[in-house]
Structure 1
Amino acid sequence: MENAPDLLELAGTLARAAGHAIMGVRAQGFTVDHKPDASPVTVADTLAEALITEGLVPTGIPVVAEEAVAGGDCPEPAPLFWLVDPLDGTKEFAKGRDEFCVCIGLVRGDAPVLGVLYLPVTRELFGGIVASRTAWKEVDGTRRPIQARTPPPEGLHVLDSRSHAKPEALAKMLAGMTVAESRPMGSAMKFARVAEGAADLAPRPGPTMEWDTAAGQAVLEAAGGRVTMLDGAPLRYGKPGYLNSGFIGWGRAPA
């Protein structure tokens, strides 16, 4: 495919820049509007998306971005396309919490091939290329490789959704598993925590959109984990309306 390392570095640069813009909006103060589906949106979302999509234009690869789709621009999936969520976790951002991130993923066919997640508050950048099984975390210019872990002896450490928790559905998903801890966390940063071996499972019973998951799935799979639908089949892309059903992000399977 195209030069994956170069595309990943570009995505990382754009994610950092978007994160900087988001933090600028946060510092200045902002109002919260709502889209037709009642989900929140702020100027930080639109500013970050404009910055990212403009920066991706030179790649010549089509871009499917959350706010553009919300505005009616919903292109058909291409053989190779970017999926962008400029501010994943807008609900947490609007409430003054720190659990939000920038997501840029590249999809070929029906599977993510690379992606970055940037956490603006902690300035952590996560990147991964699935084919080479290389994933890394960078903080303030220092980059180190990361790997998902096998579950510890005491059981799974689970990251549940903070704003979309469904306790009964989650209990059903975790039936038969040994769970040591379950704690809430907002946004796609859950993928990053599983990818770096800080947790073992990131389940989501309810629906999401493909731009919510593509970057995180790429990073997690590059780190040795996997993302499946609730029936165990791989989470695929290019679906009608870019709509996902429930999924589970897994760490490394026991040997």
Structure 2
Amino acid sequence: MQEFLTLAVRLADEAAIAIRSIRAAGFAVETKIDSTPVTVADRQAEALITSGLRAAMPDIPVVAEEEVAAGRITAPSGRYWLVDPLDGTREFAAGRDEFAVCIGLIENGAPILGAVASPAFNELHFGAVGQGAWQRRGELEQKIAARRAPPEGITVFASRHYQDAPELKVCLARHKVAHLTNIGSALKFLRLAEGVADFYPRLGRTMEWDTAAPQAVLEAAGGAVLIRGGKPLRYGKPHWENPDFFAWGLF
């Protein structure tokens, strides 16, 4: 497991460096066939990650967002990588800092490890389920853990782009909410894993490559990601599409 995690961490870090360089130099924004944005940063980061994974571990399939968008479909197997080279492209294109590089490993339908780089913040979160989770900021590395919700109420991190959804208001009305913050990308999972937030409800479309790595980090930190009915969010679904889910801190 350490070999897998070391590889994912290295490639996430290298992709983050590439993305920072592209951001500094300037870039154009294109629109894919599904009306979502894409940039040269998405493509270059994905090429770096997928080539690195395939060179190091050629027997493990790699499923990556831009390859799927281009029609390269890799069938899931018992163990495979899920890659989102630039989660939060809308935030990146808008000049905000809420974007991430996500590399997750799936085994028998469950995320077992992940590495998530936050290029704008020079942060890297990584972990393996059953072994723990860590945060690296610059040269400082520390173990992280989800927290139990405080009695004064939960801190919620929710999607920037679904903040006005009526379903979200109904969901939050069931809980004692002390603080609510709306941000983009996988960073919401990471704030739960760090123990600074308690709940991330996602009542809107996501894809498996969006969630695999940060779910693994959160679960390695003691949290949980559940779908309606209380079952864990699983992988290898048709068209790689997730249902609504609810991410919690210490569960």
What TM-score, normalized to structure 1? 0.95
Q: Aligned residues, how many?
A: 249
Q: Work out the CA distance in 2 between the residues paired with 1:16 and 1:101.
A: 11
SS in 2 for 1:199: coil
Give the Cα–Cα distance (whole angstroms) in 1 for the partners of residues 197 and 80 of structure 2.
30
The residue number in structure 1 matching 2:115 is 116
Tell me, what secondary structure is at the counterpart of 2:121?
coil
Paired with 1:129 and 1:144, the residues of 2 have a C-alpha distance of 15
Deviation beyond 3 Å, 4+ runs, structure 1? none
Conservation of the 8 A alpha-carbon contact between 1:100 and 1:187: yes
The whole-number CA distance in structure 1 between the counterparts of 2:216 and 2:21 is 28
1:48 corresponds to: 45
Alignment of 1:114-193 (within 5 A): 114-132=113-131, 134-193=132-191
Cα displacement string for residues 30-79 of structure 1 (whole angstroms, at most 9, x for unaligned residues):
11001111000000000000000011012121100000000001221111
- Name the amino acid aligned to 1:55: G
SS at match of 2:112: strand
Which residue identity is paired with 2:242?
A: N
> 1:135 is matched by which residue type in structure 2?
A
1:171 Cα offset (Å):
1.7
For 1:202-213, what aligned pairs fall within 5 Å after superposition?
Answer: 202-213=200-211
Letter paired with 2:100: C
- How far does the alpha carbon of each residue in 1:148-193 deviate from its partner, in whole angstroms, 9 at most, with x for none? 0011121010011012334311122223210011111110011111
Q: Which moved more, 1:90-99 or 1:121-130?
A: 121-130
CA distance in 2, matches of 1:212, 1:164: 16
Whether the 8 Å CA contact 1:166–1:205 is kept in 2: the answer is no
Q: What are the within-5 Å matches in structure 2 for residues 60-75 of structure 1?
A: 60=58, 61-75=60-74
Give the deviation of 1:203 after TM superposition: 1.1
Partners of 2:31 and 2:162 lie apart in 1 by 17
Q: Which residue of 1 is the match for residue 22 of structure 2?
A: 25
SS in 1 for 2:166: helix
Q: Map 1:207-246; keep pairs closer than 5 Å.
A: 207-246=205-244
User: Residue 120 of structure 2: SS of its match in structure 1?
Assistant: coil
- Answering whether residue 5 of structure 2 is matched by residue 14 of structure 1, we say no
Percent of pairs identical after alignment? 53
Give the RMSD, CA atoms, in angstroms. Answer: 1.0
Where do residues 89-100 of structure 1 align in structure 2 (5 Å cutoff)? 89-100=88-99
The question of whether the paired residues in 2 share the 8 Å contact of 1:110 and 1:237 is answered with: yes
Matches within 5 A, 1:77-92: 77-92=76-91
The normalised TM-score by structure 2 is 0.97
CA distance in 1, matches of 2:75, 2:92: 30
Q: State the alpha-carbon separation in 2 of the partners of residues 165 and 36 from structure 1.
A: 25
CA distance in 2, matches of 1:87, 1:200: 25
Q: Is structure 2 residue 32 aligned with structure 1 residue 35?
A: yes
The whole-number CA distance in structure 2 between the counterparts of 1:164 and 1:84 is: 23
CA distance in 2, matches of 1:5, 1:184: 34
